[in-house]
C-alpha cells in the first residue's frame, strides 16, 4: 500500500466518523475537482454523510464529472458541535479564575444570558470575548488540492472556527504545500492528484465504482496531457488499469464523440545506428549512398532522311521484299521427279 503509513491515524478515525466534509480550493482544475468528487462518491457509497464544497462556480468543462451537482458554495449546516466563548484576561497563570464564584445561564425571550457570579471585592472584566466553534458537527475534513487553507477562499475565511476544531486530512501534490493537516498525504512526484486519491481510496479499504473510476480517469488524462507528461510512471498506468477494470470510462471529446486528440505531437528521436551497432559488437552500418534522381529522356519525333530510299525503292538483294509481285510467280509450275514410287 503506497500511503499506508500516512493513513494509519485516519484508518482509526473513519469507522466512527459520521459526518465528513470535502473541501476543494477555489479555481480548481479538472484534476482537483475529479479527485474530490471521487472521494465524495466513494465515502457516500460507504454510508457516510458527506458534503463537498468549493468557493467557485462549476464550469461547462466540469459537467461530465459524476457528482458535480453536489458541490456547494457555502458550508452546509450540520448538527452538533461546540461553541466556545473565550474571555481574555480573566484567568490566572495557573488556569484558575479567583474572581469568579460560579456561572449560570437562563433564557430570556430569544436570548440566552450567561451570568458570571463575581466574588466581593474582586474584578472580573474580560479584555475581549471571542466566539469559537469547535467541530461544528463534522468529524473529518478532507482538503483536496490546496497548498494552504487560504486557497479555499471564503469556505475557510468565513468558517475558520470549523476548521480549527476538526481533524483535517490534507491531500496534495504541490511542492509548496504547508502540511497544515493533522494527516498529510503529500506526493509531489505524482503525475496527478487523481492518481494519489485513487491510491488513498484503495489503501483505506474502499472499492472504486464506475463513476468514481471515470472521474479519476478524467483527472489523470487532463493533468498528464493524455498520459504524455514526463511524470507518468508505471504507477499511473496501474491506476488507469484499475479504473478501467471497474467500468470507468476514458474522457471523451463531447463535441466530436471521440477520444480527445493529443494537442502536442512529440518529436521523434533520431538514432546513431553506428553507435548502436558498436554497442552490440557489430561493424559500422555503411552509410546509404544517395540514389541518383531518374530523369525521363525527351521524346523526339522521328525524321526521315530524304537521301535514303524508302522500302519500296530498295532493291530485293538488300533484304527488303517488294510489294510488287513478279509475273512468273503466278504461272503454274510442274515438278518432275527422276523416279516414281
Indicate the class that CATH gives domain 8-79+135-259: alpha beta
Side-chain-facing half-sphere of 66: CA atoms under 13 Å: 20
Q: By three-state DSSP, how is residue 42 classified?
A: helix
Where are the domains positioned within the chain?
8-79+135-259
Q: How far from 312 is each of 302, 304, 318, CA to CA, in Å?
A: 19, 14, 12
Kindly give the confidence (pLDDT) of every residue in the chain, 341 residues in length, as a single tens digit, with 9 standing for 90 and above.
Answer: 789 889 999 999 999 998 999 999 999 999 999 999 999 999 999 999 999 999 987 776 677 899 999 999 988 765 555 667 788 888 888 888 878 888 898 898 888 899 989 988 888 888 888 766 554 578 999 999 999 999 999 999 988 888 987 899 999 999 999 999 999 999 999 999 999 999 999 999 999 999 999 999 999 999 999 999 999 999 999 999 999 999 999 986 433 444 555 444 455 556 566 665 665 565 555 555 666 666 666 666 655 555 555 555 555 555 555 556 566 666 666 666 655 55
Give the single-character DSSP code of 332.
-
Q: Are 253 and 222 in contact (CB under 8 A)?
A: no
Instruction: Enter the C-alpha cell of residue 223.
Output: 493533468
pTM equals 0.61
The pLDDT of residue 253: 45
The pLDDT of residue 162: 86
Amino acid at each position: 500500500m503506497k500511503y499506508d503509513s500516512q493513513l494509519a491515524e485516519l484508518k482509526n478515525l473513519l469507522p466512527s466518523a459520521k459526518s465528513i466534509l470535502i473541501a476543494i480550493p477555489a479555481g480548481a482544475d479538472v484534476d482537483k475537482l475529479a479527485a474530490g468528487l471521487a472521494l465524495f462518491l466513494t465515502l457516500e457509497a460507504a454510508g457516510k454523510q458527506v458534503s463537498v464544497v468549493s468557493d467557485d462556480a462549476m464550469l461547462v468543462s466540469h459537467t461530465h464529472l459524476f457528482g458535480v451537482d453536489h458541490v456547494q458554495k457555502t458550508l452546509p449546516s450540520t448538527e452538533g458541535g461546540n461553541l466556545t466563548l473565550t474571555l481574555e484576561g480573566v484567568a490566572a497563570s495557573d488556569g484558575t479564575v479567583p474572581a469568579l464564584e460560579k456561572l449560570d445561564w437562563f433564557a430570556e425571550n430569544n436570548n440566552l444570558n450567561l451570568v458570571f457570579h463575581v466574588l466581593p471585592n474582586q474584578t472580573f472584566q474580560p479584555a475581549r470575548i471571542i466566539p469559537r466553534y469547535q467541530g461544528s458537527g463534522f468529524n473529518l475534513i478532507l482538503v483536496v488540492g490546496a497548498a494552504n487553507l487560504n486557497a479555499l477562499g471564503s469556505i475557510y475565511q468565513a468558517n475558520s472556527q470549523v476548521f480549527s476544531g476538526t481533524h483535517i486530512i490534507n491531500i496534495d501534490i504541490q511542492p509548496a504545500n504547508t502540511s497544515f493537516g493533522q494527516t498529510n498525504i503529500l506526493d509531489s512526484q505524482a503525475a496527478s492528484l487523481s492518481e494519489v486519491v485513487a491510491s488513498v481510496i484503495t489503501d483505506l479499504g474502499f472499492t472504486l465504482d464506475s463513476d468514481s473510476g471515470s472521474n479519476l480517469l478524467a483527472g489523470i488524462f487532463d493533468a498528464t496531457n493524455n498520459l504524455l507528461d514526463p511524470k507518468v510512471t508505471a504507477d499511473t498506468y496501474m491506476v488507469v488499469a484499475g479504473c478501467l477494470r471497474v467500468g470507468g470510462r476514458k474522457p471523451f471529446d463531447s463535441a466530436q464523440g471521440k477520444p480527445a486528440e493529443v494537442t502536442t505531437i512529440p518529436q521523434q528521436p533520431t538514432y546513431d545506428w553506428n553507435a548502436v551497432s558498436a554497442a552490440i559488437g557489430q561493424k559500422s552500418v555503411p552509410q546509404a549512398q544517395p540514389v541518383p534522381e531518374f530523369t525521363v529522356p525527351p521524346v523526339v519525333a522521328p525524321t526521315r532522311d530524304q537521301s535514303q530510299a524508302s522500302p519500296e525503292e530498295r532493291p530485293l538483294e538488300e533484304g527488303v521484299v517488294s510489294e510488287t509481285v513478279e509475273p512468273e510467280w503466278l504461272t503454274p509450275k510442274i515438278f518432275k521427279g527422276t523416279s516414281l514410287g
